Amino acid sequence: MGTHQETVLHTFGPTLPTWSPDSQHLMFNQLIVSGGQAISALALADLATQNLITVSVRGQESAVLSAPAWSPTGESVLVGLKRTASDPSNQLMLIRPDGDSGRLLTTDEAYSQCCYQWDPWGQAIVFQRIQIGPVSGTTPEIMVWSATTGQTREVVKNGFSPAWQP
């Protein structure tokens, strides 16, 4: 049953905040000014305690994390990762919701990944990737990463904006 309370959280960026599967937390991008520079960072709001923490992954403190996607179990969050704000490639990383640890799923700097989504069971992730740099005529590819094998495979050449169907 709802509490009918209203809370305003200031978010930043083109992506919408995402709810944890238990609806107790909200993760979103926020704008932080540090050393005279504005950077995008992930924030985790605990709605029960109204605590707000900035999420950074140990060993990746200078990385820009974006577009969080909670796993169906809530045990991990898939995020886009740029090693620096000027990095042209976006890699995929699984993190714990508190940022305590992270695991890169993609590492090929010649490609940038986006449009990622968990399957309803938390067993696979579908995403779009495209080669970046001075390569002409590249086409986007649809890839699937398996949580069981840890392997990624191409499922569609020249595809974009993938989604799981019921």
Name the residue range of residue 60's domain.
18-157
DSSP states along 37-100: EEEEEEEEEETTTTEEEEE--TT-TTSEEEEEEE-TTSS-EEEEEESSTT-S--EEEEE-TTSS
pLDDT score for 1: 44
Whichever domain contains 48, its CATH number is 2.120.10.30
pLDDT score for 60: 74
| Burial label, 55 (beta-carbon count in 10 A; 0-12, 13-18, 19+) | buried
Q: What is the pLDDT of residues 18-31, one digit of tens each?
A: 999 999 999 988 87
CB 140 within 8 A of CB 159: yes
Q: Is the residue at 143 inside a domain? A: yes
Q: What is the pLDDT of residues 27-78, one digit of tens each?
A: 988 877 777 776 777 889 998 888 888 887 777 777 888 889 999 999 999 9
The identity of residue 53, as a single letter, is I
Report the alpha-carbon distance of residue 87 to residue 11 in Å, rounded.
22
Q: Is the residue at 1 inside a domain? A: no
Domain total for the chain?
Answer: 1
Report the alpha-carbon distance of residue 52 to residue 26 in Å, rounded.
10
Q: Which of 46-55, 89-98, 110-119, 138-147 has the lowest mean pLDDT?
A: 46-55
Looking at residue 35, the DSSP 8-state letter turns out to be T
Q: Is the residue at 91 inside a domain? A: yes
- Helix, strand, or coil (residue 125): strand
Establish how many alpha carbons lie within 13 A of residue 44's alpha carbon, considering only the half-sphere containing its beta carbon: 22
The residue that leads in pLDDT, 127 or 135, is 127
